[in-house]
Structures are given as structure tokens and as C-alpha cells.
Amino acid sequence: MPDYFRAVALDFDGTLTTGERPSREVLAALSEARSCGRRLVLVTGRTLRHLRSGFADVDTWFDAVVAENGAVLHTPVGSQVLARPVDPALADALTGHGVAVDRGQVILGCSASHDHLVLEEVRRLGADYQLTRNRGALMIVPAGVTKRTGLDAALDHLGLSPHSTIAIGDAENDQTMLEHCEVGVAVANAVDSLKRRADIVTTAPDGGGVIEILRGDVLRGGRHVHPDRWQIPLGTYLDGTPAAVPASQVNMLVTGGTQAGKSYLAGLIAERLIQLAYAVVVIDVEGDHTQLAELPDVVHLGGHEPVPTTGLLRNLLSHHGTSIVADLSQLTGDERRAWYQETPPRLADLRSDRGLPHWVLVDEAHESLGHASETRHLFSPDRKGHIMVTYHPTDLCAEARTSIDLLIALRPSTLDAEDPVVVATTTFSRSRVDEVLDAFTALPAGAGLLMRASEPGVLRPFRLGSRLTTHVRHWHKYATVDLPAHQRFVFRRNAEATYGKAAASLPEFHRELARCEPDVIAHHAGDRDFSRWIRGVFRDDRLAAEVEQVEAELTTALQENVATARRRLLAAVELRYPV
């Protein structure tokens, strides 16, 4: 199974070792982890001088070293001080009281037994420092500096994200680091306060616990841990309790009938992930998700601008907090297929190397991941972190269907056993079809069914939460934005003769419909062209049905009949959309 975690952050004293140097067995496990392409970051309260006094070759075992409890970063390109040093006057004052002080580049260290004296001297100086405990040691650190902030600097240097990182520690000062990473591990000898809040507690102490993680199933992807702090809030179950799903290491399928709210729900999930600082790439086939760019650190590419290239996507994703909406709505089918041939494989490579993006949301997934699609092999659904959105889930290829961990189903187009949404829900949940139909029938407005592969037979109805951004269906955008040439409506007098006009938007369609010759309307109505265009381009079955009824009732091309049909067609469009 492909790896999810690209980095491991490790404390030194009490975690890697209880001495001055890790054991040969621990060093072997570190070497194995790096040989698999993972980056290792040492995060310690020690000064670099103290660390190297007993572990001289430390730099050869780690990709970065964070020293002095987050205040100093050392990488192969050199050392960097991450905060203003503590005032030397404090060290002098403590030494004058007979306190043994360890002076680093930034912080001061002493025995925790002197905490009251240290606090008094800090107050006397009027300094803004924090006192951080590490078992029996006390560190005087500039305000805001923690192992979390130091690790962030190291991961940023490496182009990695905390969401792709496991952190391992043993003491109080490791807490911020463990909570910041996707999974936090306390070794068996850790202080009780850390073990209570860790996601995993190893069975072995210190270095043995580190080996347990480095060679275990969690790091390799054989077992998934989903901490409560990394959950996607979807809304509430009908009893009022929160409905949430894991924010990593799963695949989701979002399905439902036409206009059931799939794009709204997919956008809701993307918003929640972005709020949690996951990097998301949205492959937006219809232009439904442009509003996500209203959120901080979200970039919209494509649409009426040039299509996003692989190089640009990679550069943006190197800033691990950036999410991207790749708007393919203005591309032809051939242009989209060419984009699929180039981009998803490169995204898969980047995910294997850097763990970014954490998520890929694939709208209209039956198009690119369908069993008949030429591009289905270019995605890697077994890599996890995919949100597949489609109204025709039974068209997905076997690799995509079998990779799904969570299915969220909105109301199907028809309450029929043969409806694709009903079929997919029945198959995934391993429920009886009558149970599925009853569950859909009982759904209140604005609700869906949540199912987990780990809970067969369980169909949990929930109400969808509120969006942060305004969801705009793509046809509203088309009302003011020109459609690509292949989606425009070409007015004709008959199959051979064009009228010379083409509608690139809803206003243009409405305008030409109002002034075209009667024989043009009679020709298109007879062939059901108006309703077919509205249904195919705008996916608006309601308007298409109203237009189709007008077309069906236009039985002759008499001028008075066409005039009535024209008025009804114009009124239907005006009522549905303010053109």
C-alpha cells in the first residue's frame, strides 16, 4: 500500500535515547526510513553544542535539526536563529544567585527546581519569555517559540507539511509538536500527561518505541489512525450530534441525482479541509467550484485564463498551505483528455515525493475515472486522498470503486432499484435495495446518507452544514460569461442552413430567441434542440422539461403558434434565470 507519511519528527532525550547517542539498532531504523524517501527531523531542547558533544555525526542521520526547543534550525545549508536571543542579563542574574545556567544561541536552560527564582527574575526584567519544562529541566524561551514553530520552519525548508508527518516524543515540551502533526506518538516511558493526549502510545520505551513506529504498519500505511482533531465536519446527524469523517488516508465518493447538491457538498468538504490546512487540488470540470478562491491560500487557475500547467501546479503546491481550483470548464473534451494525460501522473509523483497535495477532488469523476475512460489509469486511487464526485457512480472503473472508504449519497434522480445512485449505495453499504429506497424516501430536505466501508448495513442520514463560500451553479456563471465554441447554441433555419447567429451565453440565447425568424424556432422545436442544449450544457432538467413541453406542443409552424411558443420559451428562461 502506498505511503502517506513523508516525514518523521523525533525528540532526542528520552525518545531516541536515554544517553548521549542512539543505539545501533535505532540508527539502523533511521537509515531504513530515509532509504524509503522519508525525511527525518530531530527536534530537541538541547543546544547544538551539547547535542554534538556526544553525537558528533548527528547531521548525517537527519535532514534537519531543530535545536533549543524550536529556536534554532540547522540544515545542510547552515544554521538559522529563529528568534531573538534571551537577554544575557537574565543569565547573569541567575548565575549571581548560584544557578548553573546552560547558555544557547537563543535560550537558557537550568534545573526546574529553580522555577520560582527564574520567574521572579523574568518579571524583574520585564521580559516576555516563557518557561518550558522538560521533565527535570527548565528552559527559558522567547514567547511564541515552541517545538511546533521550529518544526514548521524545518518542514517548510524541506517542502513538506505537518499533515504528512508523524511526531514522536516523551516529555511536556513535545506536546505542541505532537498535536500539530497528523499523528502524535508518545513512547512508553513518556510522562503521563503526554500519553493521555497522544494518538499512539508505543509498547516499548525510548529507542525501542521509535523502532516500533519506524518499522510498523502506521508509517507504512497498513493501519490508519484518524485523530479527533483531524476530522471533517459535514453537518449533524438527525439526532443533533456532529457528523464528521476522517480528514486523511481515506477515499470518498460523493454521489446523487442531478441537482441533488453534489457540488455544494463537495465544496463543503473542500472548504473544511482547507480550513484544517490540508492542500487540495480541485479538478473542476464544470466551473462549479470557482468560489473556493474566496478563501485564504486558495488559487483559481484556468477558466477563461490559460489552463494550469503541471509546472505551475507543482510550484504552487510547494507552498504546503496552498490549494488550487483547476477550472477546466472552457476546455473541449479533447483538451481535457490531453490535460488528464499530463497532469494527474505528475500530481501522483509529487504526492509520492512530498505528500502534496493531500487531497485531489475529481468532479464529474465518471469522465476521467470511468471504466471506459482512456485516462483512468493515470490516477492512483489506492494512494487515498481522493474525493470522487459523480451522478453516475456505476460508471466508475473497478479500481476507483474498490478504493472507496466513505460514500456520501444525496437523493437519486429516481427512487428506482435501477437508478445508478441506488445501485451504488446498495452495493457499497451491503444493504437490501428496499432498505436503501426507504432511507432515501425518508431523507429530509438538505440531507444525505453517510456510509462507511467499515460499517456494512449502516445508512446514517445527516443534515448538510453551511458553506463558507457562496455556491454558484455553473450555469449562472455562463449567464454572463461566454461559453466555449463547442458548447454554443447555433441557430439554424434547417439542418443545412445556419441562421448566422450563435449564442455564447444565456443573455445571447434569450436575445436571439426573441428576434429570430419563426422558421428558426419551428425547426429547433421540432428537433427538440432547445431542451437538449439546456439539459446538456446547463444540466438543468427542470428548465429543459418546461422547454421540451413547449417544443412538443408546437405542432405546426403557423406564425401564431410560433409566436405563442416564443413567448412561453422566453418566459421559462426569464423565470428560471434573471437574464
User: Is residue 378 a contact partner of residue 345, using CB atoms and an 8 Å limit?
Assistant: yes
Mean pLDDT of the chain: 91
| Same domain flag for 330 and 460 | yes
**pLDDT-wise least confident of 62-71, 84-93, 117-126, 495-504:** 495-504
User: Is residue 312 a contact partner of residue 278, using CB atoms and an 8 Å limit?
Assistant: no
Residue 132 grid coordinates: 518550558
Place 311 in a pLDDT band, splitting at 50, 70 and 90: confident
Structural domains counted in the chain = 4
| Same domain flag for 165 and 285 | no
Residue 424 confidence (pLDDT): 97
Asked if the model's pLDDT at residue 403 lies above 90, the reply is: yes
Residue 471 confidence (pLDDT): 61
Q: Among 393, 378, 182, 408, which Cα is nearest to 279's? A: 182
Mean pLDDT of all residues in 123-152: 93
Residue 1 confidence (pLDDT): 39
User: Is residue 55 a contact partner of residue 48, using CB atoms and an 8 Å limit?
Assistant: no
The 3-state DSSP class for residue 142 equals strand
Q: What is the largest CA-CA distance in the chain?
A: 108
CATH of the domain at 52: 3.40.50.1000
Residue 484 confidence (pLDDT): 76
Place 556 in a pLDDT band, splitting at 50, 70 and 90: low
| Same domain flag for 444 and 464 | yes
Mean pLDDT of all residues in 536-555: 84
Asked if the model's pLDDT at residue 475 lies above 60, the reply is: no
Place 573 in a pLDDT band, splitting at 50, 70 and 90: confident
Asked if the model's pLDDT at residue 394 lies above 50, the reply is: yes
Residue 383 confidence (pLDDT): 82
Question: What are the b/e assignments for 85-117, b being 16+ CB within 10 Å?
Answer: bbbeebbebbeeeebebbebbbbbbbebebeee
Place 61 in a pLDDT band, splitting at 50, 70 and 90: very high
Q: Which of 174, 207, 225 is the last residue of a domain?
A: 225
Q: Please classify residue 578 by burial: count the beta carbons closer than 10 Å to its beta carbon, then call 0-12 exposed, 13-18 middle and 19+ buried.
A: exposed
Query: Is residue 79 in a domain?
Result: no
Q: Which of 117, 143, 169 is the last residue of a domain?
A: 143
Q: What is the DSSP string of 306-363?
A: PPPPHHHHHHHHTSTT-EEEEE-TTS-HHHHHHHHHHHHHHHHHHHHHH--SSEEEET
Residue 500 grid coordinates: 448566422
Q: Which of 446, 472, 498 is the last residue of a domain?
A: 472
Domain ranges, residue 479: 475-576
Angle at 85 between CA 81 and CA 87, to 5 degrees: 170
Q: Distance between CA 44 and CA 67 in Å, rounded?
A: 5
CA contacts within 13 A on the Cβ side of 133: 13
Residue 258 confidence (pLDDT): 81
Q: Among 472, 451, 468, which Cα is nearest to 460's? A: 451
pLDDT tens column, 191-226: 999 999 999 999 999 999 999 999 999 999 899 999
Strands 165-169 and 7-10: parallel
Place 480 in a pLDDT band, splitting at 50, 70 and 90: low
Query: Is residue 297 in a domain?
Result: yes
Query: Is residue 155 in a domain?
Result: yes
Q: Is the peptide bond before 357 cis (omega within 30 degrees of 0)?
A: yes
Mean pLDDT of all residues in 122-137: 90
| Same domain flag for 510 and 431 | no
User: Is residue 167 a contact partner of residue 177, using CB atoms and an 8 Å limit?
Assistant: yes
pLDDT tens column, 422-457: 999 999 999 999 999 999 999 999 999 999 999 999
**pLDDT-wise least confident of 55-64, 194-203, 257-266, 414-423:** 257-266
Q: Distance between CA 321 and CA 333 in Å, rounded?
A: 31
| Same domain flag for 121 and 257 | no
* Highest mean pLDDT (candidates 307-316, 406-415, 471-480, 495-504): 406-415
Q: Distance between CA 123 and CA 142 in Å, rounded?
A: 14
Residue 283 confidence (pLDDT): 95
| Same domain flag for 62 and 136 | no
* Highest mean pLDDT (candidates 279-293, 339-353, 525-539): 279-293
Residue 372 confidence (pLDDT): 82
